[in-house]
Amino acid sequence: MTTPAPRASGSGSTLRLLIGLVLTMVAMATAAIGFSRLFNLLEAGGYGTPPIRTALAILGVSGAFLASGIATLIWEISKRYERY
């Protein structure tokens, strides 16, 4: 069994990992809220109303959080397991 090489000063960061995880979890919670609002509004017959736009905006924000979280996690994993 070989021991891993010592980590460089610019390698993985616990803070970056936590930020990525938090952004991803916030995205999941925001998506659940957006989909439930959208479902309730469509069930009530509110097609084309401003609340639908609000629900879609919430889903858009959820997508932005998810993209940021996944990008941060990929960045962290690539830094953590980077080979020189």
Q: pLDDT per residue over 10-44, tens digit each?
A: 577 889 999 999 999 999 999 999 999 999 988 88
55 lies in a domain? yes
Helices (H), 1-49: 14-43
Q: Which domain holds residue 39?
A: 14-80
Report the domain count for the chain: 1
Residue 64, pLDDT score: 97
Contact at 8 Å (CB) between 66 and 72? Answer: no
1 lies in a domain? no
9 lies in a domain? no
Residue 15, pLDDT score: 93
Q: How much of the chain, in percent, has pLDDT values that exceed 70?
A: 86
> Radius of gyration over alpha carbons of the chain, in Å?
19
Residue 37, pLDDT score: 93
4 lies in a domain? no
6 lies in a domain? no
Distances (CA, A) of 46 to 5, 24, 32, 80: 60, 30, 19, 48
Distances (CA, A) of 52 to 29, 35, 45: 18, 11, 11
5 lies in a domain? no
pTM value > 0.75: yes
Higher pLDDT, 16 or 84: 16
Fill in the amino acid letter for 17: L
